[in-house]
Structure 1
Amino acid sequence: MEDVNWEDFSIEDFFDGDFSNYSYGTDLPHILPDSAPCRPESLEISKCILVVIYALVFLLSLLGNSLVMLVILYSRVGRSVTDVYVLNLAMADLLFALTLPIWAASKVNGWIFGTALCKLVSLLKEVNFYSGILLLACISVDRYLAIVHATRALTQKRHLVKFVCLGIWALSLCLSLPIVIFRRAIYPPSSSPVCYEDMGNSTAKWRMVLRILPQTFGFVLPLLVMLFCYGFTLRTLLKAHMGQKHRAMRVIFAVVLVFLLCWLPYHLVLLTDTLMRTHVIADTCKRRNAIDQALEATIILGFLHSCLNPIIYTFIGQKFRHGLLKILATRGLVSKELLPKDSRPSFASSASGNTSTPL
């Protein structure tokens, strides 16, 4: 064997050769790129645009939901069960809207507000979502009982509705507790601080549990209740040719549809993320980054929902417009001639002995 003179050899000789035609082959599957830590990719949207969107949603939600609450509280005579649910719905949206400036600031500078505020704004976001869908489910049950079964227990229900709303707020708080317990301000060494869950060594496992349980009880089940109740309600209205009540139900159907359009995409993406992290579907860097970007986009759509209900009431809800005009006329801000002769300062009026016309 020929001896090698190592004294004449330098490290630069490793890089002098032509390696262009050299190939390195193994029998390993091509999974190495996805086995390595993924480089996160943010959604390509300007921070300034996000701040403008959040600011507009904040202002519209603050004004719109305040007016909704004012009209309902002003119309004590003739207030229906649905009105009470709508009042609580506006209250939930208004509380959430107050957190939007903080979310907007965090998009620009990262989470610089500490753990206490992280827990509080996360709590309000979760409570807003769960109370929203639970209140819509209760409205669907109320309409189902009033129209399909023509129940006459409206007097009793008006007393019970307060306790139902308290129960909804309590249940929403319970479903939101995991977020409050585990969320905190996290300061990664190479990126901006974030407000996120930290569960120690079992973060991945517990995050799946804390996603599946609230989504089941706070989204899937109420959604099934709404589909059942509104399906039979709509069938009854069409079969009985109850045109006036059918027109009144348009507002509720619009509210439910807008809620689903705003929040369903986010929860579908969240479900996909859960399936990926539990390895039901393949976990790759490309898919993970796509899901992260989809979560960023759909959460903006969810935030947008907080300002949309008042717009629906204004353009579709005749009773809301009449109630608002009456308040303005009483304060001398508009002419009383603009008021319709049969207007009432309420969201609901009695359509018959057994049912109420909502919104």
Structure 2
Amino acid sequence: MEDDNWEDFGLEDFFNGDFSNYSYSTDLPPILPDSAPCRRESLEISKYAVVVIYALVFLLSLLGNSLVMLVILYSRVSRSVTDVYLLNLAMADLLFALTLPIWAASRVNGWIFGTALCKLVSLLKEVNFYSGILLLACISVDRYMAIVHTACPPTQKRHLVKFICLGMWALSLCLSLPILIFRRAIYPPFSSPVCYEDMGNSTAKWRMVLRILPHTFGFVLPLLVMLFCYGFTLRTLLKVHMGQKHRAMRVIFAVVLIFLLCWLPYHLVLLADTLMRTQLISETCERRKDIDRALEATEILGFLHSCLNPIIYAFIGQKFRHGLLKILATRGLVSKELLPKDSRPSFAGSSSGNTSTTL
């Protein structure tokens, strides 16, 4: 009798179980019954190599973003609107970097940290991304107003910048709420535990909805704002030959470019995955494997972003180097002879003709 029941139990019944809505990989949609023959293939890179990468990113981000925050906070007199945005950007990267050891451990052993930590580190990851692009959009608007519409008084913006930053953090948190609400530790059979969304029998459908909304308001729209603002800003700089401010914009352009290089590939692959899951493009086993590997690789690239901004400031931002040397000289860690003779070096940007930016 039991043997007959066992023979009647097919592969289709297996996928109709309660765990059919779960995906066993980070940020991937659920395994569908009709895709059962497809076996997921991981990126051809050792999980221990990924752990080493995460460890290096963690150390560089911890050191670099701490120094950026120190230099900006120390430079109270010359701190500008853009500096406040960059301070918040460094804060977001630092908070995310603190979660990297947990992500690294989960690469080796699966998610063994429970639901509470799953929600927390996933929330920090999402808030880091959204606050990053929203703050960069704010910087682009600030540069646009300062260079294209120079009649706008910078003193008024300086009073508003703290409230704008709080608003960007609040918006980032709102965009990340679905992750906080629906993510939990999942323990699928025959596989390592994962930290992923659980929305019951409607997981597949709601995941598509929850992808479209935040990535529209938290990625596409801010990106369009940056393209618009920097397009007109660059045109104005070239048109009126504002050499000093043109040089000063190099740091900001580099920060935006690095952000896009790190995060745009991930979101393009995620868009392709969404189109395939919604049947707008046909799904094949080979295409599914390619997207799985691409998601894994581009997520690593996105994680790498949290340590890159301080490197940009160190190589391009002249005043960041001067500010750091000044702090070290004050503490007696370096000779004061290394300090620049000019007490007012060139800066990375300005909110007005006489307001300089720390980086």
- Normalising by the smaller structure, the TM-score range is 0.7 to 0.9
In the alignment, the residues of structure 2 paired with residue 347 and residue 184 of structure 1 have an alpha-carbon distance, to the nearest angstrom, of 46
After TM superposition, give the deviation of residue 348 of structure 1 in Å.
6.1
Q: Which amino acid aligns with 1:75?
A: S
In the alignment, the residues of structure 2 paired with residue 40 and residue 351 of structure 1 have an alpha-carbon distance, to the nearest angstrom, of 51
Residue equivalent to 2:88? 88
In the alignment, structure 1 residue 270 sits paired with structure 2 residue 232:
no
Residue equivalent to 2:131? 131
SS in 2 for 1:76: coil
After TM superposition, give the deviation of residue 279 of structure 1 in Å.
0.4
Q: Render the CA deviation track for 1:254-279: whole Å, top value 9, x for unaligned.
A: 00000000000000000001000100
In the alignment, structure 1 residue 121 sits paired with structure 2 residue 105:
no
Distance 1:296 1:343, change over 3 A: farther
SS in 2 for 1:184: strand
In the alignment, the residues of structure 1 paired with residue 346 and residue 133 of structure 2 have an alpha-carbon distance, to the nearest angstrom, of 23
In the alignment, the residues of structure 1 paired with residue 266 and residue 273 of structure 2 have an alpha-carbon distance, to the nearest angstrom, of 11
Q: Which amino acid aligns with 2:262?
A: C
SS in 1 for 2:249: helix
> Are the equivalent residues in 1 in contact too, given 2:262–2:301 (CA < 8 A)?
yes
After TM superposition, give the deviation of residue 353 of structure 1 in Å.
3.8
In the alignment, the residues of structure 2 paired with residue 236 and residue 313 of structure 1 have an alpha-carbon distance, to the nearest angstrom, of 24
Residue equivalent to 1:143? 143
In the alignment, the residues of structure 2 paired with residue 227 and residue 208 of structure 1 have an alpha-carbon distance, to the nearest angstrom, of 27
Q: Render the CA deviation track for 1:266-324: whole Å, top value 9, x for unaligned.
A: 00000001000100001222211211111100000000000000000000000101110
> Are the equivalent residues in 2 in contact too, given 1:96–1:128 (CA < 8 A)?
yes
> Are the equivalent residues in 1 in contact too, given 2:145–2:152 (CA < 8 A)?
no
SS in 1 for 2:305: helix
TM-score w.r.t. the length of structure 1 is: 0.88
Residue equivalent to 2:313? 313
In the alignment, the residues of structure 1 paired with residue 41 and residue 351 of structure 2 have an alpha-carbon distance, to the nearest angstrom, of 55
Distance 1:162 1:146, change over 3 A: same
> Are the equivalent residues in 2 in contact too, given 1:83–1:348 (CA < 8 A)?
no
> Are the equivalent residues in 2 in contact too, given 1:82–1:139 (CA < 8 A)?
yes
In the alignment, the residues of structure 2 paired with residue 40 and residue 264 of structure 1 have an alpha-carbon distance, to the nearest angstrom, of 24
Aligned-residue RMSD, C-alpha: 1.8
Residue equivalent to 2:182? 182
Q: Which amino acid aligns with 1:173?
A: L
In the alignment, the residues of structure 1 paired with residue 355 and residue 237 of structure 2 have an alpha-carbon distance, to the nearest angstrom, of 12
> Are the equivalent residues in 2 in contact too, given 1:320–1:346 (CA < 8 A)?
no
Structure 1 unaligned spans of 5+: 1-32
Aligned runs of 1:1-359 on 2, under 5 Å? 35-343=35-343, 353=353, 356=356, 359=359
Q: Which amino acid aligns with 1:56?
A: L
In the alignment, the residues of structure 2 paired with residue 153 and residue 306 of structure 1 have an alpha-carbon distance, to the nearest angstrom, of 33
Distance 1:346 1:81, change over 3 A: farther
In the alignment, the residues of structure 2 paired with residue 75 and residue 92 of structure 1 have an alpha-carbon distance, to the nearest angstrom, of 20
In the alignment, the residues of structure 2 paired with residue 330 and residue 56 of structure 1 have an alpha-carbon distance, to the nearest angstrom, of 29
Q: Render the CA deviation track for 1:1-57: whole Å, top value 9, x for unaligned.
A: xxxxxxxxxxxxxxxxxxxxxxxxxxxxxxxx9654422111111111111100000
SS in 1 for 2:334: coil
